[in-house]
């Protein structure tokens, strides 16, 4: 049986973040998954010295290692994840990754597990789409999980939450759908890697098309002599590098959901 554990990084156990997390877990339950919710406001986690045993952290780590998928849910505070969530990820550092003699980081015992990211914010949907207020929150939670070799299942975001006591129905439906997909996505092997290769192919194709168009323009304006092999090669490499870098930067910034 697929085991899913939700982690609420908020002191409000009845807030919209908690409700969105509950919707995801409800969807997972409907697909036969066993679920559990951990409330970080009730877990006295703290960083400890290497020779000090933190029973609470060890117990929490053991619970999370028993899960097939972990759902991290944090409201967006000051444009970032909550202190409760960041404290958890800091405390779990030695569990998520290991270091070799050179100090290089390697995935730890969480490698291969799935994860879902959840956040809510007061920002309007329009402004969040435009500026990506929630991007940093999602990135803060995602970075340690990627380093741990975990697999991204999806994200859920609820914007424009100020003054609201109940989760909008559209977000609840989406949350349940996302939770219901967990068993299927966990069983699928290599899907994300294939998707990334396809994305990279189209980025390369678009980059090369733009470079060829720019070169045609430069040649027509007689700004650069592209009949010379090394000049042509140098211009092609520089333009390709520049445009591909811009594409990759945009994709990295825009990969998170914003509504």
**pLDDT tens column, 199-216:** 788 888 889 999 999 988
**Highest-confidence range of 130-134, 169-173, 209-213, by mean pLDDT?**
169-173
Residue 160 region by backbone torsions, left for phi larger than 0, else alpha for psi between -120 and 50, else beta: left
Amino acid 199: pLDDT: 77
52 or 152, greater pLDDT: 152
* pLDDT above 80 for 258: no
* pLDDT above 70 for 50: no
Return the bridge partners of 116, or none.
Answer: 71, 154
Average pLDDT on 74-102 reads 94
Amino acid 47: pLDDT: 64
Burial 150-177 (b: 16+ CB within 10 A, else e): bbebbbbbbbbbeeeeebbeebbebbbe
What pLDDT digit, counting tens, does each position of 4-16 carry? 999 999 999 999 9
Task: Answer whether CATH 3.20.190.10 is correct for domain 3-188.
Answer: no
* pLDDT above 70 for 190: no
Under 8 Å between Cβ of 121 and 159: yes
Domain with CATH 3.40.50.360 in the chain: 3-188
**Highest-confidence range of 73-77, 94-98, 217-221, by mean pLDDT?**
73-77
Amino acid 146: pLDDT: 95
pTM of the model: 0.78
Average pLDDT on 23-42 reads 96
Amino acid 195: pLDDT: 66
CA 162 to chain centre: 24
User: In residues, how long is the chain?
Assistant: 259
70 or 46, greater pLDDT: 70
Please count the other Cβ atoms lying within 10 Å of the Cβ belonging to residue 184.
Answer: 12
Distance CA 193, CA 241 (A): 23
* pLDDT above 90 for 40: yes
Distance CA 172, CA 241 (A): 42
| pLDDT band (50, 70, 90) for residue 220 | confident
C-alpha closest to that of 10 among 65, 105, 72, 82:
82
Average pLDDT on 253-259 reads 63
């Amino acid at each position: 049986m697929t085991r899913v554990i939700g982690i609420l990084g908020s002191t409000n156990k009845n807030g919209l973040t908690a409700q969105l997390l509950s919707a995801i877990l409800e969807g997972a339950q409907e697909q036969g998954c066993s679920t559990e919710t951990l409330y970080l406001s009730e877990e006295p986690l703290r960083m400890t010295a290497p020779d000090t045993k933190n029973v609470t952290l060890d117990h929490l780590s053991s619970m999370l290692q028993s899960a097939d998928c972990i759902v991290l849910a944090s409201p967006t505070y000051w444009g970032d994840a909550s202190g409760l969530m960041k404290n958890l990820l800091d405390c779990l550092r030695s569990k998520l990754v290991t270091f070799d003699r050179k100090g290089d980081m390697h995935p730890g015992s969480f490698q291969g597990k799935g994860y879902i990211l959840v956040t809510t914010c007061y920002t309007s949907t329009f402004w969040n789409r435009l500026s990506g207020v929630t991007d940093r929150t999602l990135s803060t939670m995602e970075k340690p999980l990627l380093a741990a070799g975990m697999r991204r299942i999806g994200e859920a975001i609820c914007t424009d939450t100020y003054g609201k006591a109940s989760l909008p129905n559209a977000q609840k439906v989406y949350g349940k759908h996302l939770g219901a997909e967990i068993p299927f996505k966990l069983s699928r092997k290599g899907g994300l890697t294939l998707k990334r290769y396809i994305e990279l192919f189209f980025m390369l194709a678009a980059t090369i098309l733009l470079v060829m168009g720019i070169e045609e323009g430069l040649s027509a304006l007689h700004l650069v002599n592209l009949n010379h092999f090394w000049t042509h090669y140098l211009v092609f490499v520089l333009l390709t590098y520049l445009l591909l870098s811009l594409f990759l930067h945009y994709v990295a910034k825009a990969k998170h959901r914003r509504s």
